[in-house]
Structure 1
Amino acid sequence: MSTLATVRGWGLTELRPHEHAHWAALRAVLSVGVPVSVVLALGRSDLTLFASFGAFNSLYGRHSIYASRLRMQTESGLFMAACVTLGVVVAAVGGTPLAIAATTAASGIAYLVARWAHWAPPGSLFAVFAVGACSSHPQDWSTVPLALAVSLGAASLAVLLGQSGQLFAAGRNREKASRKTRLSISELFRGEGVRGDLLACTAGPAIAGTVAAAAGGAHPYWAMVSAVAPLMSPPGARHRVTRALHRVWGTALGVLISLAVLSTDPGVVTTLVLALLAQAFAELFVMRNYGLAVIAITPLALLMQHLAVESDPLATTTERMTETALGAAIAVGLILLAGRPKHTSTA
């Protein structure tokens, strides 16, 4: 098989239908841009991470009818605010082992809640990102109520923007799937693939975070995020390994862009504008080709971090690539291990 055929076979060049992604991109840009602009105008760049993670709420229910989106974003918004607050509490207590443990626990809980509530997108990536990032920077207890208020405010704005399309005929959407009945706890755990995915959602980030921390990484949560990202794909080793490959090659290109941008030491306004452009690009392509989206997601994450805490561009981008590759490798290992056929004795 030729190299080109291999690339196509793994979906690296596939471009799925647009499906009105511009509406989701517009909501995401406004959801992030407005609260981040407010905290920056107030001179509180240290609160940008909290605003950003609350704004992640806009990413839920992009194809749902308004009633379903309202329910989903109300629930996910509260959950994201809780994740941000947990991360800040862990940071106030201090300690990398505690941060890894809390992020791992959040990953398992988020997976179960998302599966039970039928959130879209599924999985625990956003929870891992929020708890991991917020627990990685030193905080004091006075920041806890601020983190809760800012993340809740941003999440609430995302809910309002998620309903704003009702004002415009062109912005109206359709339900892509029928409503699903929520299961009892026992029924949830008996669901197909739930136990295996739950194990992957806890073992993956725990291993990735521990290895990254032991290697001296300053941001072990980057490896933890990369370890759970493939699990947002449909079940099946091929789908999930493909997503892991997309994350690695997308990050590789994204860090080059990030290094070029951050090396110019952009001002606050420029950094925010570039981050919002990256947010728009990511939302336009995340459902079409994940690798293309990650090319933008990487500078988005690094630019938002730059707004909150300045760091050395070369060291930051190098570590981002290293820890992403580490997390992806651990995820692929667990995926392939879970997908191995079980042989039974005929003796």
Structure 2
Amino acid sequence: MKLLQEIRELYALKPSSRGWHIPLLASLCVSTPLFIGYFAGNVLAGSVASIAGLVILYLPEASFTRRMITLMACAFGLLISFFSGLLFSFNPIVASVYLGGFTFAVHWVTRYFKLKPPGNFFFIMLAAVGICMPFNLEQIPLKTGLATMGCISACLLAFIYGFMVRTKNPDAQETIIVQKNLISGTAESAIFGITIGVSLAVAKLFQLENPYWVPVSCLAVMQGVSAKHIWQRSLQRIIGTFLGLGLAYVLLSLKLPVWGICLGIALMQFVVEMFITRNYGYAVIFITSLTLLLAEFGSSLSGRPNELVVARFTDIVLGSLVGAIGGYFLYHQKIKDKMERQLRKTRIALKR
């Protein structure tokens, strides 16, 4: 009975007040750069800009002015993340250490300002995407410019959306909430940073073709709000990944034209945003297919769906397991208390 209850809990649909216009806006922000790239004859460039278009997910429920300020600030943060990732991709060891340190800093800042979901996720994801690209110093300005265009298109669509959809209380007082317990935030951020850095190091050690799947899967699992939630997310991600890769396999086997893949990505982004607030398990099915199609443009495995599905499933399961282990340390109170005590001692020693 308890097992059946757990299964029902994993796949129960939660009520959501989210309207259809937010998923539609997210779908447009992701697909618009893709279609521009398609019609311009360079869909690979469009895919880079498309990933940056995910900044739209940080659009808050607030006044028009607050929406645009928040979105532009997050866009700047995403561009810094992507640019720095590209810059430190020249060496596997340096890349792993940098991504761990960057994750520590981003998690600390987003926790300090209590940034609402998706929180630190896409900042770290963009850094991981950049850091796992082949290092080419001459291409860094071009790739950063493409990501900038993705952010600009998202901000432009949000600007238009702001005139069409108004909040109920646009004049309500808006305050910035900060986290006062800095020691606790530092300990938590350290665990996040170490885990993500280790996940990339493991991916590099196994010489995976597209190693960014491992840290991103690890990060997705660690977004849980409790130890139980993290283990649930691990299970949901592994099962959802299996089903999502099956969907991706079918789509790849159909050998769709490029415009068909772009349209499929737009539709899946809409479905993801409809499900993400209701049940992560259902959303991850489409997240897997979406990110696989988006990330594998031009991949050497894109024409071999059998090998691609096996490779990505291995990557995601590996990342989910590392994330589950990191989640154990993240919510193990004795370990956190010990780290916090040590940090307080260090802080007192430095003041002397």
Same fold (TM over 0.5): yes
Is 1:103 aligned to residue 104 of structure 2?
A: no
Structure 1 residue 182, shift from structure 2 partner: 5.2
Distance of aligned partners of 1:285 and 1:246 in 2 relative to their CA distance in 1, 3 Å threshold: same
Structure 1 residue 2, shift from structure 2 partner: 4.5
Number of aligned residue pairs: give it: 333
- Which range is displaced more, 150-159 or 270-279? 150-159
Q: Give the residue type in structure 2 aligned to 1:321.
A: F
Structure 1 residue 254, shift from structure 2 partner: 0.6
Q: Which residue does 1:46 correspond to in 2?
A: 44
Contact 1:259 1:317 in 2 (8 A): yes
Structure 1 residue 154, shift from structure 2 partner: 1.5
Cα distance between partner residues in 1 of 2:130 and 2:306: 22
Contact 2:99 2:193 in 1 (8 A): no
Q: Which residue does 1:207 correspond to in 2?
A: 198
Is 1:89 aligned to residue 87 of structure 2?
A: yes
Is 1:80 aligned to residue 66 of structure 2?
A: no
TM-score (norm 1): 0.86
Contact 1:28 1:280 in 2 (8 A): yes
Structure 1 residue 120, shift from structure 2 partner: 2.5
Cα distance between partner residues in 2 of 1:326 and 1:175: 45
Q: Which residue does 2:123 correspond to in 1?
A: 127
* 1:220-231 superposed matches below 5 A: 220-231=211-222
| 1:12-54 deviation line (CA, Å, top 9, x unaligned) | 1121223234221111111111122222322223323420222
* 1:138-287 superposed matches below 5 A: 138-168=134-164, 171-174=165-168, 179-181=174-176, 183=178, 187=180, 189-190=182-183, 193-234=184-225, 236-287=226-277
| 1:77-115 deviation line (CA, Å, top 9, x unaligned) | 011112222233334xx3333333333233222212322
Q: Which residue does 2:4 correspond to in 1?
A: 4
Q: Percent identity of the aligned residues?
A: 23
Structure 1 residue 341, shift from structure 2 partner: 5.1
Q: Which residue does 1:23 correspond to in 2?
A: 21
Q: Which residue does 1:288 correspond to in 2?
A: 278
Is 1:323 aligned to residue 310 of structure 2?
A: no
Q: Which residue does 2:58 correspond to in 1?
A: 60
Structure 1 residue 266, shift from structure 2 partner: 2.1
Q: Give the residue type in structure 2 aligned to 1:323.
A: D
Cα distance between partner residues in 1 of 2:252 and 2:234: 26
Cα distance between partner residues in 2 of 1:273 and 1:267: 10
Contact 1:223 1:323 in 2 (8 A): yes
Distance of aligned partners of 1:62 and 1:279 in 2 relative to their CA distance in 1, 3 Å threshold: farther
Cα distance between partner residues in 1 of 2:136 and 2:250: 33
Give ranges in structure 1 of 5+ residues lacking alignment. Answer: none
Structure 1 residue 133, shift from structure 2 partner: 2.0
Distance of aligned partners of 1:127 and 1:319 in 2 relative to their CA distance in 1, 3 Å threshold: farther
TM-score (norm 2): 0.85
Contact 1:123 1:231 in 2 (8 A): no
Distance of aligned partners of 1:108 and 1:341 in 2 relative to their CA distance in 1, 3 Å threshold: closer
Cα distance between partner residues in 2 of 1:308 and 1:113: 35
Q: Give the residue type in structure 1 aligned to 2:57.
A: L
Cα distance between partner residues in 1 of 2:274 and 2:112: 27
Give ranges in structure 2 of 5+ residues lacking alignment. Answer: 338-352
Distance of aligned partners of 1:183 and 1:118 in 2 relative to their CA distance in 1, 3 Å threshold: closer
Contact 1:250 1:294 in 2 (8 A): yes
Cα distance between partner residues in 2 of 1:114 and 1:178: 21
| 1:39-77 deviation line (CA, Å, top 9, x unaligned) | 232222332342022201111135344333222211110
Structure 1 residue 308, shift from structure 2 partner: 4.3
- Which range is displaced more, 265-274 or 312-321? 312-321
| 1:223-270 deviation line (CA, Å, top 9, x unaligned) | 111212133333x21223222222222111111111121123322101
Distance of aligned partners of 1:293 and 1:174 in 2 relative to their CA distance in 1, 3 Å threshold: farther
Task: Say which of 282, 294, 313 aligns to 1:304.
Answer: 294
Cα distance between partner residues in 1 of 2:130 and 2:331: 33
- Structure 1 segments (4+ residues) deviating >6 Å: 175-178
Q: Which residue does 2:348 correspond to in 1?
A: none
Cα distance between partner residues in 2 of 1:196 and 1:319: 34
Q: Which residue does 2:114 correspond to in 1?
A: 118
Cα distance between partner residues in 2 of 1:340 and 1:80: 31
Q: Give the residue type in structure 2 aligned to 1:51.
A: A
Is 1:335 aligned to residue 327 of structure 2?
A: yes
Q: Which residue does 2:345 correspond to in 1?
A: none
Cα distance between partner residues in 1 of 2:267 and 2:219: 25
